[in-house]
Amino acid sequence: MSAADTLLDAVCSITPVARDADGPVFREPWEAEAFAIAVALNEAGLFTWREWAEALSRAIRRAQAAGDPDLGDSYYHHWLAALERLVAEKGVAAPEALAERCAAWDRAARATPHGRPILLENDPLAPA
């Protein structure tokens, strides 16, 4: 069984994941990238699938407690929240660094003309 299949099994034990015969189905490219990051970090030994499933479950519960209506469209936002928390807890990146990178992507997105790829170098505050 591949790492991606193991991840799907772990995640599906706590919440359903849209999938077809080929594997998970993603609505947006960034969702697939978030999935791939989780697989890569597991393969690098940063966390076990059990740790991942528990972190994702906590992220979903926190979001629901904060009023997330759980319509399925926010699932990979919870995925990212779990990834960010695990990376911070494991000391790979400080929460402040993660927040700054998130803000940089947001600035880059706002500075990118519609229809163009969003690139981090489009951040108006990026070093020259």
Q: Are residue 124 and residue 73 in the same domain, yes or no?
A: no
Q: Are residue 54 and residue 26 in the same domain, yes or no?
A: yes
Per-residue pLDDT, 3? 65
Q: Are 60 and 15 in contact (CB under 8 A)?
A: yes
Domain span at residue 124 reads 94-128
**CATH number of the CATH domain containing 61:** 1.10.472
- Burial profile 56-88: b = 16 or more Cβ within 10 angstroms, e = fewer: bbebbeebeeeebeeeeeebbebbbbbbbbbbb
pLDDT means per 10 residues in the chain (128 residues)? 65 61 82 91 93 93 92 88 93 92 94 93 90
Q: Are residue 51 and residue 69 in the same domain, yes or no?
A: yes
106-88-51 Cα angle (round to 5): 115
Domain count, the chain: 2
User: Residue 123 — φ and ψ, nearest 5°?
Assistant: -60, 120
Per-residue pLDDT, 21? 76
